[in-house]
Every structure is written in C-alpha cells, then in structure tokens.
Structure 1
C-alpha cells in the first residue's frame, strides 16, 4: 500500500511539474509574440505556484516594462535585482523603471551599480549629467498645454495638422460590433482618424479616414505633403489583403504612400525603403517635401531603432537611406521624427538624457549644417512617462504631442500646446566715430529697478545676445575701457508671441586720452622757411607713433601759420608750403593719407599773440607764430 501511495504522489508531482512546464512554455510563447498582457497573467500564476520563480519574476518585470508601466515594472525589478547571479542588465532596467516613477536619486544608484558591474552605459545616457533633473525643472518654460477634446480611453497619438484638419492614430474602435485586438496591449488595432481643428465633438468610428489607408491591422500615424495630394503613413506589413511575416513569424511595420483622388486616399504603394525582415515607420517630411525621415530597426544601426533620411526624387522614387548618426541615434530607441518649417528635427528617445521613459528632443545644427547636439524640451512637454509623436504647425507656435502620463483620459493621449518662445535682446556694439564693431565690450542688463540680471562680453564682431522675459522693462549698458558708456531702455511688453528678438544696438564714443593728445605738440619753422627742422622732426615722429601704434583709427587735420612780417599773399603761400612739408613728412613715415583730412595754410591771419604789423616784438614772440598745429578730427 505504501508503495502505491508513493507512486501516486510521484505521479501527481510529475503531472504538476509537467503542467507548470507547459504553462511556462505558453508564457514564453506569448512573450515572444509580444502578447505582454496575456504573458504577464501566466507569469504571475507561475510565481504564485512557486515554479521557476526567479525566471518568471524577471519575465513579468519585462512585460510591464514593455507595457510602459514603470510602477509595476519597478516593483518586480526590485525583487529581480535581489536574486543571486542575476544578469547585470536588470540593474539597468531597474534604474530606468525607477526613473519612470520619478525616483531619480535611487535610479542613479542602480545605474552606477550597472556600470561598476561592467555594464556599458549609452554614450548619451542621463548619467552624463547628474544635475540634469534640477536644471530641466528650473528652466524657463516655453511650452504651455491646451485642452484636446478628441481623446479616448484607448491609445491616441500622432496628431498632425494639415489644411484645417487634424489627422491622428487611435485604437478607439468604439461603435464597431467586431473588434480585432492587438496582443501586445489587448487594445484594438490602430486606425487613422480625422477631425476638424478646434472641433468639440467626440470622434467615433465615423471619423475614420476614408479610402484605402485603414486596414484590419495597425495604420498610422501619417504625414501629408504641402500640396495635400500625397500621404505617407505607417502600417503593418499588410497590403492587397496579404499579411507578410519575418523569419520569426512576426509582422513588422512599413511606410506606405497614398494619393488623394476625388477626396479619397487611395492607390496605396509599398516603398523601396521597406523590407519584410525589419520595420520601417514614423514618416516625416522636410519643408519642401524632398526628404523623407523615418524610424527603422534595420541592420547597421546603432541599436534599438534609429532615425534615417532618404531623398525623394522628382519622379517619386526614393534614394538610399542614410542613418542620421550617433549625435541623434543611441544604443536605445529613437523614433517619431518631425521637421518644422525652420528645418529643426524633433524626435523621441529613451537613450538620451531624459526625465523618464521616452522624452522629446530638438536638434542643434553646426556651421556645416550637421547635427552637433540635442536638447531636451523639458516640462511640461516631457514627463516621467512616454512622451512622443511631437508635431509643430507652420506658425511655429502651436502643435501636438502624445503621452501616457497620469491625468489623461486613457492610455496614450494627445496633448495640444502653444509655445511662448524665449525672447532675446541682441545687438552690435559699434565705435561711434569709425562705425567699426567693438569686440570684448562689457554688456550689462538691468531690470526696471536697476537690478543687474545678466552680464556678458561681445564677440569679435561686437555682437551680443541675452535671453529675457516677456512683459518686462529693461535697460542695457555697453562699456569698454577706451569708450564712454552707452545705454538703451527697452520693453518686452505687449509684443506678439511670434516675435522673439528685440534689437538694441549700442554706440560708444571714444574717451579722449588727454595725456596722449598732449603729445601732439606744435612744431615751429625758421624765418621765411618751410623745411622740417630737427626739433620739429622729433615731434612729428611722436605723432607718427601715436597714429600707427596707439590710435590706429585716429584722424587729424594740419593747420600751418606764419608770423606777420612780409606781404599777406606771400605769407599765405609760405604757410601752405609749411603745411605741405608737414603732410609729406607724415606720409613718408607710413601714415595713411586718408587719415589726414586737410593740410591748410592760414598765413598771418591767426597770430597767437599781439605781434602784428608795426608792433615791436622780440624774435621769440615771432617764433611762436611760425608754427604748424594738429587738430584731432576722429579718434579710436
């Protein structure tokens, strides 16, 4: 009897183990097919049955991470990282999930543990800037959220405005009797919807885009050419009623093109950049519709998904795709590119320094039109959750993005925004005499209470630029060691949102250096002569040195005179000869002729004393009248 009991217990145990093995296999199959909602339920059951618990816990945490649920993911990752011999990648996953629930300091600790264990952190990871969170929350807010009335309890994203209408992707298949569900999140498949800009009515299944764009699988988001005739859109690899799969049996994404005929989007066309072996999606067009930007996980990228660009030829064919490089793309996921009217690329990434999961970034280009950096758009556009599918309307002020942050109506929600661009005061500091820019001028900005709020120096072109607040009064002062200060008062009150720059140029007048100018001594001549004496040459050499070395912009005028002896006409000619001699001497020493505006003779008409005709004067008194003087016209 005992043997029978033992045999029965053994059979029961083996049947139970066999059942749990089958359950784990089923969970893994669901996981590998991206059916994360269903897979999570099975992994939970395995944990409750204490079967391969460590493995099931890791998989369950991954399920929640893929479902973009950092709250639940972090709860299970916390248990995972306590396991013995856990793969170090889970330290990184835990760090990211903590970031998704705003536990930034704790996230930093686990990221450091990942690095200390030999993990390689993305080159653009948030660890590069430990002060990032503080700086991003303290930055001047540019974007302000507006209400969107057409969100649903399902996933809504990819809003794109064109010709008075908003096109967006949504899984809201409400009002339809038969719903096909997407295994990843157990929601209906995405379709493209359209509504009027500013519409207050709810968008139901009647708002689906008419034509051949929507299929039985995922469709959207879309972008449309400026002429409104061509649409590029994302869709599962499904066309002409045929669904294609890759080598793993999965159906990826492609970008298709449709044309507008009789108000219907039709003639759906597969593009040359697509493949059955990898995904291509998230179409975006540049300002003149000559380039198509997109997201792809094709081979040869930096990891995850990357952003690419391809030329659109005149005949509609496409060139060879080009990866946008590692300034934009990281080892993680980048996607949802958008190009505004100024040519700025916006995109989403979880590999760059961000606030949580996916964040939205703008790009900065260098002098050679290449990408040199990316900038996080900050709050409230970005949050600790997924923020993506950013678009901007042609006015550069309004637009849309999507987020699964708390406080929304459903899963992913569309948010509208209006932008109040940072204002700047800028200008050039110029020499008031020669109109040339003054480099290294000190620029000080004051508020209306004379409190200093900014300080900088001009560049080599005399240029300055300072960010300012709107709706305030200011005073800006320019200073330089050799110049008299200049200032301007201005206001940023009642200025249109579209205007972002106030110009305040400053003119600085040179400070006359009394000591230096005193060295422009009068020179004297012998009676009835106009040659340059040795003592006069010494003085003239001082003037040459001042003009060539100390004041390279100084301009002078030469005035020569005689004493009263001799005829008036003779003295006029003699004074002119003396002016010419002085002029020619300076020119011979390298002074540019344009820097001597005049060299005139005044004869005996401007005596310095009372030694006029008929007066009895000593020779020393007459000598004072036989002279050439120098008058500064302009000066640095």
Structure 2
C-alpha cells in the first residue's frame, strides 16, 4: 500500500508542478502578446531554468530581447537552441539579425545562407550576402545631443530655431498615468526646445495625451503640424483591432496663438493597421509616412499622399522598390533636394536598422555607412534646411534611444585643369590617374577640350596622381585631402612639360634635300611652316638649334661645307618667315658624321634619309 501511496503522491505532485508551469507559460505568452516584453523576459527565464519547453521559451525569450533591442541577450538564447532540429527556419534569419547586432558578421552570413537553403526565396537577403562594404561619399561627424535624457529621446524636426522631438522624460506632464509595459518607460510625448536658450517644454496645445505621441513635422508655412499618436481622440482611446492592439495614427493640428489646436484625424487612418512617422516635401504638398497596411511589400513600408489645395488628401501610394523591401522601412525624410532618407532592416547594412538614401531619379539605394550607421538601430534622419547640420536617432550607446547631432561633410570633389607648362594652354585628352597608397588605380580620367577634369575623392588622405599626354613628359604628384572638411571642391591644377622634341611637337618630318643640293624643297617648306607655326603660336619663347647632314657620297670636307649650306638655308627660311634670329641659337653642318642610316652599301633610299636637317630644343621657358 505504501508503494502505491508514494506512486500516486508523486503523480499528484508532478501534476501540480505541470499545472504550475503551464500557468506560468500562459502568463509569459500573454505578456508577450500584450507587448509587455520587459516583464515577459523574467517569466521566460524562469521557465527555461525549470527546463520547461526549453526550445520554445528560448526562442520566445530571444524574440522578446530583440523587441527590446538587446541583440546581445537575444544571441545568447537563440544560440542555445539554434541547432535543435525542430526549430522553425525563420529563426535562422532572426539569429542572423541578432548576430549582426553584435557585429558577428561572418556568423550572421552563415545563418542567412542556412535560411535560404531551407527553400526561402529572398532577394533582400541575397543582397545582404553579396555586399559586405558600406560606404557613403559624404562623411558625417557625430556627437550626442546635449538635451538627451535618461530615457528614450528621438525623432527630431527643426524649424526656425525650434526643435521638436519625442521623449519619454515625462517633464511637466501630468497625463502619463502609467509606464509603457513594452520597456518600462513612460509613454512618449512631443517636446519643443528653443535652440538659442536650450529651454525645453512639452509642445503647447492639444497634442500630447496619456498614450504615445510623436514624432511630428510642421508644414513649410508653419500653420499645420502632422504627428503620430496612438488611436486616441477626443480624450478617449479609439477602437482596437481584433487582437486588441491600439494602432498608431496620423493627426493634424493648426497653429493658434502659439498653441496647436483643432486636432483632426487624417482620413486614411485605420483601426486595423498603423500609420506614422510623417515627413513633408519641401513645398508641403506631399506627405510621406510609414505603414503596415495590407498589400504592401512586407513588414512596414513607406507611402506618400498628395495634400490638395482644399486640404483633402489623395490616395496612399506605396513607394515600392527600390525603397521598400519584404522587411521593414520606417522614418522617411524628404530633403530639400529631392533625396529620400529612410531607415530599413531589409537593405544590406551594418546593423539592425540602418539609414539609407535614394537620390531623385535614381534607382540605387545607398547605405550611409559609418559613422551614421552602427550595429544597432539608426533611424530618424533629419537635416536642417540650408545647413550641413542635422540629427539622427540611435540606441548605439545604451539601452535607450538617443538623439545625435551630425555635421554633414559633402563628398569632396577634386577638380583642375591640365595645361602646358610653357605656354599655359589647356591640354585636351590628357589622362589623369589617381591611385591609393598601394598604387591601385582609383580613378582614370580624361580631360575635356578645355583641359578640365573632376572626380569625387575621399577626405583626410594623400593620393598619388599621374598625368600624361603623348606630347608631354609624365607628371607625378600627390593630392592631399587632409584638413579639407571646410571645402567641397579641392582645386588641383597640373602643368605638363612638353617633351624636348621639336619634330614631335610640331608633328613634322625631317627636312630632306636633293643630292648635292642645299635649297629648300617644296615638301620641306611645308614641314618648316609647321615649325614656324609652333614657334610663333604655341611656344613664342622656344629657342632651337639646327643641325644639317649629308649622305656618304663625296669627301668629308665637301660634305661638311654642303651640310653648312643646308643648315644656313633652313635658318634663312625660318627667319624669312618671322622667326627672330636670336631664337635659333646655332645652325651647324655635320657632314656625313651623324648618319640616320649607318650603312656601308647604302641604297638610294638610305642616302635620302641621311640628307636632312634636324632640330633640337635649346630653351623652353615655363609660363608664369
């Protein structure tokens, strides 16, 4: 009997234990479903410690930590069970994302590949695998804003010296009755700061409520504010969806005596999905926003609507590719030059969410690279109009979101003219090669008809440069872009020295003579005319020497005299055609001593080639 008693008692105790664990499991899942991730993590940890549903609870705990933007914790719990054969393949992707958040990029790529190997098809993930370098031509200097608090601050908009931002600081606010169960912080409000005095206060008017409010954007004329808020209107919470979720909506309010009044819900909102993160085009006629509405590309997408003259709105248009992906795109910002900035975890990047840009009329999305992006979340890009200053938001330096101020340094353009060092004339079709420190070619350029070249180049480095043109000596130099942060264009002119070859410069053949003659033949006159043009028009300071030669027929003494007569004929022709005598240092006959063709049994063609006048450069002054 005793044995039966112990047996049934054990069964009863185990049953009670199972019932307790089952109840704790329901509690954890309920907390997770209600977005109470912070509290849910503690319950999931208890279940794992009790070895109850370890695989499920480890993945769920990893999910909760990713929602809390804590990839270092998510990696730990995902990693414990990632090799379990029963795990869903989606966790290969989630684990890869968490690994990227802690800069374990090689491991992240491994699990992205495993995700695709399960039969999933994803162009976005394939792009992540194919790209491992993220660099923007623009560079940014970044520092934390001095108005961050100990809780979350993000989402800056600036206009006329007033900075609007979102914060959980609950300053001078008495409507926040409870904290947000997601992360244990107060609900968000919109605040304004005077950039001159640094004074911060909640935005005035009927904007902030007891739920989440912000971020916001103000119309160019300052009359209307558009802002994100939970579904809350007329001092009461709106209808939730079938899963009891209170979604985000967009609202507008009008300016009245320094306050924002007459709050209106925008007509394209829905109780069944979220709309938020407003941004306006420069003219205020197009509103951009984020939404997870049905029939999008996946996750959250970026949309736009037209704002009509009568304050009605056009239909919502999904921006589609290349902006939106199967994952999440958020926080659009339309710059004054038509460039769209946005945050995404669906494009290849450095971290969880990176900031990207798409220029107007371009199909190529560019990752802004470091220092704007980190291994964690970077979002809410905003640039002050007509300024290099702007703001981003990031959780890179702690558990909370913080605002960072940046100074944008535009791509540096190196530009210049390649010209003749002697006469200063521009040289077209010259080649300019820019190399890195290892001699690898970074840019190969060709000058235009004005000798001009330009290209973008990195700052704070030194680059070897080489310039060539067939009529000139090769130039080698160094482009120094150190200490160039205050300029957008670096001027680098190049002067090429002409080669010391008159025949080549003038594109003339040798001056040939008939046998035993010293007169200038018609064909020789045409060649000498080219030399005259070169010395008059291109190099007016050029000083030359003339050397004339004979073939080997005749005595040495006779040939020397004949060569002197040929040199004198050449000299006389040049002088007669306007070349000053002092620009011809000498004219000299060499007889048969310096043949072009050194032959013992010379043909008539050989003899002809030896009967010639030649020219050499004596002086070629560089232009001032």
TM bin, normalised by shorter chain, reads 0.7 to 0.9
Range moving further from structure 2, 43-52 or 209-218: 43-52
Deviations 1:517-540 (A, max 9, x none): 55999xxxxxxxxxxxxxx9xx9x
Give the superposition deviation at 1:330.
1.2
Is this contact kept in 2: 1:334–1:347, CA < 8 A?
yes
Q: Deviations over 1:104-151 (max 9, x none)?
A: 12222222222223333442656333532xx64xx7771112342211
Write the distance in 2 (CA, Å) between the matches of 1:57 and 1:454: 49
Contact 2:304/2:316, CA 8 A, preserved across alignment: yes
CA contact (8 A) 1:274 1:280 kept: yes
Q: Is 1:398 aligned to 2:389, yes or no?
A: yes
Distance 1:460-1:310 versus aligned 2 partners, 3 A rule: farther
User: Any conservation in 1 of the 2:172–2:202 contact (CA below 8 Å)?
Assistant: no
Q: Is the 8 A contact 1:429 1:458 kept in 2?
A: no
Displacement of 1:506: 7.9
Q: Give the drift of 1:438.
A: 4.7
Question: Please, which of 439, 444, 449 is the counterpart of residue 456 of structure 1?
Answer: 444
Give the C-alpha shift of residue 426 in structure 1.
3.1
- Name the structure 2 match of 1:261: 256
Q: 1:436 to 1:327 in 2, by over 3 A?
A: farther
Taking structure 1 as reference, are residues 495 and 109 closer, same or farther at Cα in structure 2, changes over 3 Å only?
closer
Distance in 2, Cα, partners of 1:189 & 1:38: 16
The alpha-carbon deviation at position 516 of structure 1 amounts to: 6.3
Cα shift at 1:444: 3.6
Question: How do 1:299-310 and structure 2 match up within 5 A?
Answer: 299-310=294-305
Q: Deviations over 1:152-195 (max 9, x none)?
A: 12111001211112111011125667642222222211100111
The 5-angstrom pairing of residues 531-546 of structure 1 reads: none
Give 1:313 deviation, angstroms.
1.4
Q: What is residue 582 of structure 2 aligned with on the other side?
A: none
1:406-425 aligned at under 5 Å gives the runs: 406=397, 408=398, 411-425=400-414
Aligned equivalent of 1:354, options 327, 349, 353: 349
Bigger Cα displacement from structure 2, 344-353 vs 79-88: 79-88
- Aligned 8 A contact 2:277 2:332 in 1: yes
The C-alpha deviation readout for 1:243-278, integer Å capped at 9, x for no partner, is 221222211111111111110011111112321111
Offset from partner CA, 1:329-386 (integer Å, 9 cap, x none): 1111110111222221111111111111111112134xxx2x4111121222111111
Task: Provide the C-alpha distance between the structure 2 equivalents of 1:495 and 1:8, rounded to a whole number of angstroms.
Answer: 81
Q: For residue 364 of structure 2, what is the aligned residue in structure 1? A: 373
Q: Mean alpha-carbon deviation: is it higher for 462-471 or for 323-332? A: 462-471
The residue number in structure 2 matching 1:213 is 207
Per the alignment, residue 622 of structure 1 pairs with none
Q: Distance in 1 between matches of 2:317 and 2:511?
A: 67
Q: What are the within-5 Å matches in structure 2 for residues 109-508 of structure 1?
A: 109-123=110-124, 127-132=128-133, 136=135, 142-174=139-171, 179-197=177-195, 199=197, 203=200, 207-242=201-236, 243-365=238-360, 369=361, 371-406=362-397, 408=398, 411-426=400-415, 438=428, 441-444=430-433, 455-458=443-446, 464-468=453-457, 479-481=468-470, 497=486, 499-502=487-490
TM-score, structure 1 normalization: 0.71
- Could you tell me whether the CA contact under 8 Å between 2:431 and 2:447 is conserved in 1? no
CA distance in 2, matches of 1:384, 1:494: 29
Q: Any stretches of 5+ residues in structure 1 without a counterpart?
A: 522-535, 544-604, 607-636
Moved more, 74-83 or 236-245: 236-245
Q: In structure 2, what is the Cα distance between the partners aligned to 1:423 and 1:58?
A: 47
**2-structure distance, mates of 1:255, 1:347:** 18
Query: Equivalents in 1 of 2:448, 2:81: separation in Å?
Result: 57
Contact 1:142 1:420 (8 Å CA) reproduced: yes
Unmatched 5+ residue regions in structure 2? Answer: 513-521, 528-575, 578-624
User: What's the RMSD between the two structures over aligned residues?
Assistant: 4.0
Contact 1:20 1:51 in 2 (8 A): yes
CA contact (8 A) 2:435 2:443 kept: no
Residue 128 to residue 472, structure 1, CA distance change in 2 (3 Å): closer
Deviation at 1:473, TM superposition (A): 9.5
CA distance in 1, matches of 2:457, 2:281: 31
User: In the alignment, is the contact (CA less than 8 A) between 2:157 and 2:164 conserved in 1?
Assistant: yes
> Where does residue 32 of structure 1 map in the other structure?
33
Q: How far off its partner does 1:284 sit? A: 0.6
Question: Matches of 1:474 and 1:21 in 2, distance apart?
Answer: 67
Going from structure 1 to structure 2, the CA distance change for 1:86 and 1:452 (only over 3 Å counts) comes to closer
**TM-score normalized by structure 2?**
0.72
Q: CA deviation at 1:231?
A: 0.9
CA displacement at 1:472 relative to structure 2: 8.8
Match of 2:96 in 1: 95
For residues 476-522 of structure 1, the C-alpha deviation after alignment (integer angstroms, 9 at most, x for no partner) is: 7754446788999998788783x41346688999998679655999x
> Equivalent residue for 1:83?
84
Q: Is the 8 A contact 1:307 1:335 kept in 2?
A: yes
In the TM superposition, residue 61 of structure 1 has moved relative to its aligned partner by 0.9
Once residues 478 and 16 of structure 2 are traced to their aligned partners in structure 1, the CA distance between those partners, rounded to angstroms, is: 87
- Rate the CA distance shift 1:479–1:54 in 2: closer, same or farther, 3 A: same
Distance 1:493 1:108, change over 3 A: closer
Q: Is the 8 A contact 1:213 1:268 kept in 2?
A: yes
* Aligned residues between the structures: 515
Cα displacement (A) at 1:294: 0.9
